[in-house]
């Protein structure tokens, strides 16, 4: 997928609301800056629950909502559970009230486009704007060179291999759901499905701070908890987590969630293993 | 329907081709001039046959085509027969080659937008640009004040009444498919379906120069021709024609086609009545 493909596909998805396509395409065309990444219909997790925003600019953490009076967001749980959900706490939301006249809507969009440009310019003046690059954003090299991976940067990889290679591996292919950390013996790299799947009843909280992991079978859940609590050497009590999700174009992504630590206090055969986030930014290492 | 509704609906229809929505919405947003009317997916008649153009600007008689390598226009005859078909002979067509890179596509669109502005400016400098006005364009007053109706101006009405009132009538409602011309005793106003309907096998040529009108029943067709040829007083041998069509948003329109004269030479029981266009511009009259 190149930028052209990406842009066409993203803009082609905007059909939920009557005015969504107009507003979204107008913002993208008037902004006219494909160094600025955008995502349409982005699932977000907020303290008050999950939602779908109409347009998301990850680099400046800005969401645009098309406010239609009679539109009710219809978020089906079984559709959303695999979805790439971005934590939007502290993200900004700008709204377009489409009950106004076309001229007024267009004026509001002009102001939004100006605001986006200002935000980008501010980042640029702080030397912290990284132009959108579809290849670089999914490459381990980008994050090895950067020295870290930060949740704030909305990091996701297309393959487990690329994620592993950020920590000292040099895999040309890797399929397992976990891998050792070559540079930290106490940490494991983990690529879980954080929703109920097969025999596992996994979950991540909306604020991404707590992951629970429990087998649906009570006996297995008990063994699982006991084994992990008792054998720190084998199981590791810290995990760098990349959640396996479906991107909004249907592609598989491994979305960075942070470094999680097993809570011995909260983990038990009822709750399963409870992992708590201890860092949202982790160090990267050159390839071994 | 107001401008806002119209614009949203027109842009919402562009989904035939992969790149169509991108190109069309980009042109409309960058042009950013709602004094310029646009129509998406406009059926056109050309000497070489019927076609569908992706974007049409009636005031400047310009069509935009999104050229997709593998796209074959699929024009189903039974869908198109009721459609509002614009004669596009001598209209200009600009093409966007979407096999190019996104940057090159965007550059081409910039050039098209510039060309559109130039054409509008040229009309303005000649005092012949009429800003798009959804209400005015469907009002008889507009054409009474103008003094004439011209095929070149892409004139259509939403009701038979409005069309009639351009010639001296003052109807508040009118439903029949023909009406007398209050100011020209030799002419009738006619609002036919120019495609096979009920018992009538009507047709208009692609260049709009010839209309044929024939009953499907041979005996009735014979009587119809004889009656018309023999009784000029009753039937009138000249007709100002507004074809009943379906606009591209599903609305009924009466599209002005011109003044037609019965060809006594060509009309016979085989061919039916044959009407030939003698003027594409007719005089209008104040309300009686």
When divided into structural domains, chain A yields a total of: 2
Predicted confidence band of residue A70 (pLDDT cuts 50, 70, 90) = low
Residues A102 and A180 in one domain: no
Which of A75, A94, A125 terminates a domain? The answer is: A125
Which chain B residue is nearest to residue A12, measuring alpha carbons?
A: B21
- Cβ contacts of B30 on chain A, cutoff 8 Å: 29-30, 32
A40 interfacial to chain B (CB closer than 8 Å):
no
Residues A99 and A181 in one domain: no
Q: Is residue B132 part of a domain?
A: no
Residues B90 and B147 in one domain: no
The pLDDT of residue A40: 92
Q: Is residue A288 part of a domain?
A: no
Which of A125, A157, A190 terminates a domain? The answer is: A125
Q: Is residue A18 part of a domain?
A: yes
Please judge whether A102 and B34 are an interchain contact, meaning their C-beta atoms are less than 8 angstroms apart.
yes
Q: Is residue B44 part of a domain?
A: yes
Residues A55 and A121 in one domain: yes
Closest CA to A36 of A138, A152, A153, A130: A130
Mean pLDDT, chain A, rounded, equals 91
Q: Cα–Cα–Cα angle for B193, B1, B288, nearest 5°?
A: 60
Please judge whether A8 and B25 are an interchain contact, meaning their C-beta atoms are less than 8 angstroms apart.
no
Residues A108 and A188 in one domain: no
In chain A, residues 233-252 whose CB comes closer than 8 Å to chain B? none
β-sheet bridge partners, residue B118: none
What is the spatial distance between Cα B148 and Cα B178, in angstroms, rounded to a whole number?
A: 20
Please judge whether A102 and B26 are an interchain contact, meaning their C-beta atoms are less than 8 angstroms apart.
no
HSE (side-chain half, CA atoms, 13 Å) at B158: 10
Residue A26 lies in domain: 3-125
B126 neighbors B144 (Cβ within 8 angstroms): no
Measured over the CA atoms of residue A214, residue A220, residue A225 and residue A228, the dihedral's sign is negative
- Cβ contacts of A18 on chain B, cutoff 8 Å: 8, 12
Tell the burial category of A37 from Cβ atoms under 10 Å away from its Cβ (0-12, 13-18, 19+).
buried
Residues A17 and A89 in one domain: yes
pLDDT tens for each residue of B77-100: 666 778 888 888 789 999 999 999
- Cβ contacts of B4 on chain A, cutoff 8 Å: 101-102, 105
Q: How far is CA B129 from CA B4, B86, B148, B222, in A?
A: 21, 20, 16, 48
What is the spatial distance between Cα B35 and Cα B16, in angstroms, rounded to a whole number?
A: 26
Q: Is residue A130 part of a domain?
A: no
Interface confidence, given as ipTM, is 0.84
What is the spatial distance between Cα B47 and Cα A165, in angstroms, rounded to a whole number?
A: 62
Q: Is residue B217 part of a domain?
A: yes
Which pair of tokens denotes residue A190? Answer: 């983990």
pLDDT tens for each residue of A7-52: 888 888 766 788 999 999 999 999 999 999 999 989 888 777 788 8
Walking along chain B (288 residues) 10 residues at a time, the average pLDDT comes out as 84 79 95 94 83 92 88 64 82 93 95 98 94 90 95 92 97 94 97 94 92 96 95 94 92 96 96 97 95
- Cβ contacts of A25 on chain B, cutoff 8 Å: 11, 21-22, 25-26, 29
Q: In this complex, how many residue pairs, one in chain A and one in chain B, have their CB atoms less than 8 Å apart?
A: 52
Residue with tokens 């912290």: A128
What is the CATH classification number for the domain harbouring B45?
3.40.960
Q: How far is CA B222 from CA A23, A109, B150, B201, B233, in A?
A: 58, 63, 34, 14, 19
The dihedrals phi and psi of A186, each to the nearest 5 degrees, come to -90, 0
Please judge whether B29 and A25 are an interchain contact, meaning their C-beta atoms are less than 8 angstroms apart.
yes
Residues A228 and A102 in one domain: no
Please judge whether B7 and A106 are an interchain contact, meaning their C-beta atoms are less than 8 angstroms apart.
no
Residues B18 and B121 in one domain: yes
Among the partner residues A25, A32, A106, nearest to B25 by beta-carbon distance: A25
What is the spatial distance between Cα B40 and Cα B13, in angstroms, rounded to a whole number?
A: 7
Residues A60 and A148 in one domain: no
The pLDDT of residue B74: 59
The pLDDT of residue A3: 82
Which chain B residue is nearest to residue A99, measuring alpha carbons?
A: B4
B29 interfacial to chain A (CB closer than 8 Å):
yes
The C-alpha of B22 sits at a distance from chain A's nearest C-alpha, in angstroms, of 7
The pLDDT of residue A73: 61
Q: Is residue A133 part of a domain?
A: no
B256 interfacial to chain A (CB closer than 8 Å):
no
- Cβ contacts of B34 on chain A, cutoff 8 Å: 102
CB atoms within 10 A of CB B170: 12
β-sheet bridge partners, residue A285: A167
Which chain A residue is nearest to residue B10, measuring alpha carbons?
A: A22
B11 neighbors B28 (Cβ within 8 angstroms): yes
Closest CA to B242 of B227, B252, B231: B252
The DSSP H or E segment spanning A261 is strand A252-262
Q: Cα–Cα–Cα angle for A287, A165, A181, nearest 5°?
A: 90
pLDDT tens for each residue of A198-208: 899 999 998 89
As a whole number, mean pLDDT of residues A83-100 equals 89
As a whole number, mean pLDDT of residues A43-63 equals 88
The pTM of the whole model exceeds 0.90: no
The pLDDT of residue A47: 75
Which of B83, B99, B125 terminates a domain? The answer is: B125
Which pair of tokens denotes residue A20? Answer: 């969504």
HSE (side-chain half, CA atoms, 13 Å) at A221: 19
Please judge whether A102 and B25 are an interchain contact, meaning their C-beta atoms are less than 8 angstroms apart.
no
Residues B269 and B164 in one domain: yes
Which chain B residue is nearest to residue A105, measuring alpha carbons?
A: B4
Residues B160 and B242 in one domain: yes
Residues A148 and A98 in one domain: no
The DSSP H or E segment spanning A201 is strand A200-201
In chain B, residues 88-147 whose CB comes closer than 8 Å to chain A? 101-102, 105-106
Which chain A residue is nearest to residue B4, measuring alpha carbons?
A: A102
A12 interfacial to chain B (CB closer than 8 Å):
yes
Three-state DSSP at A168 gives coil
- Cβ contacts of A7 on chain B, cutoff 8 Å: 22, 102
Q: Is residue B130 part of a domain?
A: no
As a whole number, mean pLDDT of residues A95-103 equals 93
Among the partner residues B3, B19, B22, nearest to A102 by beta-carbon distance: B3
Which pair of tokens denotes residue A125? Answer: 């003046």
What is the spatial distance between Cα A209 and Cα A189, in angstroms, rounded to a whole number?
A: 17
What is the spatial distance between Cα B154 and Cα B152, in angstroms, rounded to a whole number?
A: 6
Among the partner residues A18, A22, A34, nearest to B102 by beta-carbon distance: A34
Please judge whether B4 and A105 are an interchain contact, meaning their C-beta atoms are less than 8 angstroms apart.
yes
Predicted confidence band of residue A194 (pLDDT cuts 50, 70, 90) = very high
Among the partner residues B21, B32, B34, nearest to A12 by beta-carbon distance: B21
Among the partner residues B7, B19, B101, nearest to A8 by beta-carbon distance: B19
Which chain A residue is nearest to residue B21, measuring alpha carbons?
A: A12
Residue with tokens 């959108």: A132
pLDDT tens for each residue of A207-238: 899 999 999 999 999 999 999 999 988 999 99
């Amino acid at each position: 997928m190149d930028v052209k493909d990406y842009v066409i596909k993203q803009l082609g998805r905007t059909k939920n609301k009557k005015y969504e396509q107009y507003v979204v395409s107008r913002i993208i065309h008037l902004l006219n800056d494909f160094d600025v990444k955008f995502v349409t219909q982005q699932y977000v997790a907020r303290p008050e629950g999950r939602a779908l925003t109409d347009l998301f600019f990850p680099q400046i953490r800005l969401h645009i909502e098309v406010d239609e009076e009679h539109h009710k967001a219809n978020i089906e749980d079984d559709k959303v559970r695999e979805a790439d959900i971005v934590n939007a706490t502290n993200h900004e939301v700008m709204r377009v009230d489409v009950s106004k006249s076309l001229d007024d809507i267009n004026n509001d969009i002009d102001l939004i486009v100006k605001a986006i440009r200002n935000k980008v310019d501010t980042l640029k003046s702080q030397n912290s704007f990284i132009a959108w690059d579809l290849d670089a954003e999914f490459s381990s090299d980008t994050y090895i060179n950067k020295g870290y991976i930060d949740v704030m940067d909305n990091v996701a990889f297309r393959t487990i291999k690329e994620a592993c290679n950020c920590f000292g591996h040099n895999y040309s292919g890797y399929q397992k759901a976990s891998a050792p950390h070559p540079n930290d013996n106490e940490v494991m790299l983990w690529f879980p499905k954080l929703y109920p799947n097969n025999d596992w009843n996994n979950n991540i909280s909306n604020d991404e701070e707590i992951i629970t992991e429990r087998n649906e079978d009570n006996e297995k859940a008990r063994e699982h908890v006991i084994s992990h609590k008792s054998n720190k050497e084998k199981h590791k009590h810290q995990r760098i987590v990349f959640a396996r999700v479906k991107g909004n174009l249907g592609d598989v992504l491994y979305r960075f969630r942070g470094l999680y630590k097993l809570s011995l206090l909260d983990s038990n055969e009822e709750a399963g293993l409870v992992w708590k986030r201890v860092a949202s930014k982790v160090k990267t290492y050159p390839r071994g």
